[in-house]
């Protein structure tokens, strides 16, 4: 009698797609920049830099060659809640691809020369952020919304915290990222689940992925003015308390965002860019975290146009809860539905959807359920959500521009 096939580890998601010539794979670590000790802020981001510098006994040059041979689509990234390494390549290279990302996550080197070099790179990255008013106001928006909460902390850290990072404490920090229950792996493509599980056996996947706790998130709703000399435009952000990533109303929020400022037909783009010519671009977008979220509006304009731009945005925010039309919601639904179908055609898109659903809602991604949820959202639900969220008295804001150019918005 043959032995029954062992089940996949609970933190491994495999989606076989027979006949597909490409695969996507990734390892998600459920500790991000927000989980760094405040004195070592930026540690996870620097570990991420080191994962694809040299790992698994590969030199820097041999690792670069391996990445190029696989097609060059190997990426490492850090967010406030997660760190990860992902890869897209052809199915004939699946074993090599999985070996590489496992080595990257489990055995990066912390040689003093490598750490020193990546610290210099990170300092240069920090300087770019400090020199870019758009990046500065984006970071300020999170502080205006959430104050000193870890989710408002810059992923990259600060000059002071980066100065404390050493090979010793980075290696120790890396070990905290590899704890059982702190990792999720996913593979999509023409693969055998048992073979994938065997290839990823070095990862601690025996327990379901469980993000570590963070302090309760409280909405601050303040205004931050970053006025400075040497800038010629005003960069502005408005933020409204929104929903947590796992909230069942997120689909309605995404439709609201599409109607408000995410697209060529959106109200803000049509009014400020197409009708009035006040800005090159104006947009809106949700920032969704497990503890909560915000709906953000951003634009840049000449100082002389700032007051008019702000007035028109306020008008559109007040109107959308009253007169949002069926046609707007239907167009948003259609666009989002087609975007979903394109994601489902891509191994990388399907991989990301599956991981997000597991981490945010504790279930595997179901395309049919997603289609039903999208189709079920009504105009009344979107209007009600707009009325609930887009309240001027609860608004957070951040503005950067020439001294005295921006009026107070809060």
> 3-state class of 279 per DSSP?
coil
How many whole angstroms separate alpha carbon 107 and alpha carbon 29?
14
DSSP strand pairing (223-225 vs 396-400): parallel
Provide the CATH topology of domain 223-400: Cytochrome Bc1 Complex; Chain A, domain 1 (3.30.830)
Sheet of 293-301, strands arranged across = 223-225, 396-400, 234-241, 293-301, 282-288
Contacts of 28 (CB under 8 A, 6+ apart): 82, 83, 84, 183, 184, 185, 186, 209, 355, 359
pLDDT value at position 57? 87
DSSP strand pairing (183-189 vs 12-16): parallel
pLDDT value at position 59? 87
How many other CB atoms are found less than 10 A from the CB of residue 279?
Answer: 22
Q: Do domains 12-199 and 223-400 have the same CATH topology?
A: yes
pLDDT value at position 405? 67
**CATH architecture type of domain 12-199:** 2-Layer Sandwich (3.30)
pTM: 0.94
| Per-run averaged pLDDT (10 residues), the chain, 410 residues | 57 96 97 96 97 89 93 93 97 97 95 95 94 94 97 96 97 96 97 97 96 96 86 93 97 98 97 97 97 98 95 97 97 97 96 96 96 97 98 95 69
DSSP strand pairing (223-225 vs 74-78): unpaired
Structure tokens at 121: 């790179």
| Cα→Cα distances 320→12, 234, 251, 268, 317, Å | 42, 25, 17, 10, 6
How many whole angstroms separate alpha carbon 155 and alpha carbon 360?
20
| Cα→Cα distances 91→95, 96, 207, 346, Å | 9, 10, 28, 14
Residues 138 and 300: beta-carbon distance below 8 Å: no
Match 């992925």 to its residue by tokens: 209
Question: For the chain, what are the domain ranges?
Answer: 12-199, 223-400
How many whole angstroms separate alpha carbon 51 and alpha carbon 109?
8
């Amino acid at each position: 009698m043959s032995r029954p096939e062992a089940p996949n580890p609970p933190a491994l998601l495999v989606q076989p797609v027979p006949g597909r010539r490409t695969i996507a794979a990734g390892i998600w670590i459920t500790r991000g920049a927000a989980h760094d000790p405040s004195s070592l802020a930026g540690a996870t981001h620097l570990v991420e830099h080191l994962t694809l510098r040299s790992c698994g006994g590969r030199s820097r040059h041999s690792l670069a060659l391996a990445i190029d041979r696989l097609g060059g689509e190997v990426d490492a990234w850090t967010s406030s809640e997660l760190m990860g390494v992902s890869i897209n390549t052809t199915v004939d290279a699946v074993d090599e691809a999985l070996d590489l990302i496992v080595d990257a996550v489990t055995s990066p080197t912390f040689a003093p020369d490598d750490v020193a070099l990546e610290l210099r790179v990170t300092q240069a990255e920090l300087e770019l952020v400090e020199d870019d008013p758009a990046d500065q106001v984006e970071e300020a928006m999170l502080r205006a919304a959430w104050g000193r909460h870890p989710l408002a902390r810059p992923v990259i850290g600060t000059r002071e915290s980066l100065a404390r990072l050493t090979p010793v404490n980075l290696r120790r920090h890396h070990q905290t990222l590899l704890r059982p229950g702190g990792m999720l792996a996913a593979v999509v493509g023409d693969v055998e689940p048992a073979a994938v599980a065997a290839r990823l056996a070095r990862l601690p996947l025996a327990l379901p992925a469980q993000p570590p706790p963070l302090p309760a998130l409280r909405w601050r709703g303040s205004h931050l003015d970053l006025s400075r000399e040497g800038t010629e435009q005003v960069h502005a952000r408005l933020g409204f308390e929104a929903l947590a990533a796992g909230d069942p109303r997120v689909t309605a929020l995404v439709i609201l965002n599409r109607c408000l400022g995410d697209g060529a037909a959106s109200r803000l783009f049509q009014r400020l860019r197409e009708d009035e010519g006040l800005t090159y671009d104006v947009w809106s977008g949700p920032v969704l975290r497990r503890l909560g979220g915000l709906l953000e509006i951003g634009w840049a304009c000449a100082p002389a146009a700032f007051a008019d731009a702000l007035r028109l945005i306020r008008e559109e925010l007040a109107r959308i809860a009253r007169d949002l039309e069926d046609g707007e919601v239907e167009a948003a639904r259609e666009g989002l539905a087609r975007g979903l179908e394109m994601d489902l055609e891509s191994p990388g898109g399907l991989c990301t959807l599956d991981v997000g659903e597991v981490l945010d809602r504790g279930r595997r991604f179901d395309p049919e359920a997603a289609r039903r949820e999208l189709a079920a959202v009504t105009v009344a639900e979107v209007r009600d959500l707009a009325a609930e969220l887009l309240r001027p008295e609860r608004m957070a804001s951040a503005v950067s521009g020439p001294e005295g150019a921006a009026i107070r918005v809060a």
